[in-house]
Structure 1
Amino acid sequence: MKLLIDMGNSAIKWASLKQKRLSAQQAIPYQSDSLDNLLTQAWLKLDVPSQGIWVSNVAGAQKAEILSHWMKTHWELNPTFIKTSRYECGIKNAYDNPKQLGVDRWLALIGAHHLEKGPVCVVDCGTAITLDVLNGHHQGGIIMPGVTTMHNALLSNTQIQVNQTLQDRDKQAFLAQDTQTGISLGILYAVIGLLEYVIGHFEKQGYSLKLILTGGSVPALEPLLNRTYRYVPDLVLQGIKAVVSTTNG
């Protein structure tokens, strides 16, 4: 069994790979508990991934070190941390400096390339929202604050006070009659506007992009989407699978 791990900014996600079949994605958010305790609670009863461990990490060096130490202590194994490259799995990186492209974005592109044929727009709605276009090769991308990040930033930089969360808005409203719904709609419309602007630009050039969404904020956006899309919660893990399969067979 192989273990594939996606260490994001807000949560760690994983799945096992057995005989080229990927299990359902599991996830735990980073909370006040230490990462070591969270890993022990989640993984101590897992089968030892004797065929290897592959990791996408954008959570920083400290969390990577904790992860490596836990695996060495409990499984006597060292994980392989995947790096962004200039070319892999049939995709060429558009960045002048390929290493500047986050490995999660790179793997999401690889995953999308293996799941869908033709031009795609890949949008990851997490702590940050990233949008990348793949048309034969990576065309480049855009980064903006995520839905929850925008919500928290507005409240922390103004005197606006609300007791509700982003999910508590009036789902039927187009324009708001209360502050919380006004904030929520403004944020969600900003994201939808970005998608429409980028996809519309390519449509004017004669390209029809398939929209692929991933990330924890997708459910908040779904009611507002008027385009056909595919939601792939484990897109990064699908990319890791493609890399591992290409490298190890």
Structure 2
Amino acid sequence: MIFVLDVGNTNIVLGIYRDKELINEWRLSTDDQRSADEYGIQVMHLFEHSGISIEEIEGVIISSVVPNIMYSLENMIKKYLKKDPIVVGPGIKTGINIKYDNPKEVGADRIVNAVAAHEIYKRSIIIIDFGTATTFCAVKKNGDYLGGAIAPGIKISANALTARAAKLPRIELIKPNNIIGKNTTSAMQCGIIYGYIGQVEYIVDLMKAELTKLGEEEPFVVATGGLATLISQETKNVDEVNRFLTLEGLRIIYEKNRG
């Protein structure tokens, strides 16, 4: 079994793979103040609850966009799982070519998503990851990672609005039935949800045009992340939602580097 960890700014997504099958998946809140022991106890409880033995874990791989948490996580893995984790970063084999001006600037999550998408779909692709930030990444059929766009995530946008506008309440991020809101809550939902749909469609259209100019076929568009389904249901610009794209990418990178 392989233990994979995707560390985001809001959540840590954990997964257990048996061969190529994801058999368990959990989420913990990201907290860089927690010690290795605190994370170790949480992980051991999750393993015990799911009937997983530490001895079954063959290897561990981590991708992280939160540098301050890595000391605790790496030490937790060494202490409780007795493994040296593979950490996604410079020097790791990925199977893609990063064409960014400075490849070290590309977030590990974006690299992992690109690896998974390239291996799974084997074509020109646009990846949208709806996380704390929303990222758009373009990958050519030959595996060239070209770059993309980064926007504030939906929750960040909603929280910023309520924090800076005294009379606006916190709202649930659900799609309203109409675009013309009849009260403050529905009006905010209209602006945030449909505004985000418009953003996705416009950026994807421009990326498709740019990739086509480079001689690529019509790009396939895959979405992942917590709110991917909500947004994707309202646009024809997303071809598929893959909830576990990042975890799949971690598994693939582990296989490329296990030796």
TM-score by length of 2: 0.83
- Tell me the number of residue pairs that the alignment of Structure 1 and Structure 2 aligns: 245
Correspondence for 1:192: 197
| Contact 2:129 2:136 survives alignment (8 Å) | yes
| Contact 2:112 2:249 survives alignment (8 Å) | yes
Offset at residue 228 of structure 1 (A) = 4.6
Distance of 1:181 and 1:209 partners within structure 2: 34
Offset at residue 186 of structure 1 (A) = 1.9
Correspondence for 1:226: 236
Moved more, 115-124 or 27-36: 27-36
1:26-75 deviations in Å (ceiling 9; x for gaps): 222347994654552343424225422110011222x2111122223322
Q: Percent identity?
A: 23
Q: Which runs of 5+ in 2 are unaligned?
A: none
Offset at residue 140 of structure 1 (A) = 1.5
Correspondence for 2:100: 95
Offset at residue 128 of structure 1 (A) = 0.4
**Residue of 237, 243, 247 corresponding to 2:247:** 237
Indicate the RMSD between aligned Cα atoms, in angstroms: 2.6
4+ aligned runs moved over 6 Å, structure 1: none
Q: For the structure 1 residues 220 and 2, does the alpha-carbon distance in structure 2 shift closer, same or farther, using more than 3 Å as the test?
A: same
Offset at residue 241 of structure 1 (A) = 1.3
Correspondence for 1:40: 41
1:125-184 deviations in Å (ceiling 9; x for gaps): 0110000111232221100100000000111112233153223x5x31122222222222
Distance of 2:98 and 2:152 partners within structure 1: 23
TM-score by length of 1: 0.86
User: Which residues in structure 2 correspond to 1:1-249 (within 5 Å)?
Assistant: 1-30=1-30, 34=34, 36-37=37-38, 39-44=40-45, 45=48, 46-48=52-54, 50-61=57-68, 63-84=69-90, 88-89=94-95, 91-136=96-141, 137-167=144-174, 171-204=176-209, 206=212, 207-248=217-258
Moved more, 7-16 or 219-228: 219-228
| Contact 2:40 2:77 survives alignment (8 Å) | no
Distance of 1:17 and 1:234 partners within structure 2: 12
Distance of 1:193 and 1:15 partners within structure 2: 33
Offset at residue 119 of structure 1 (A) = 1.3
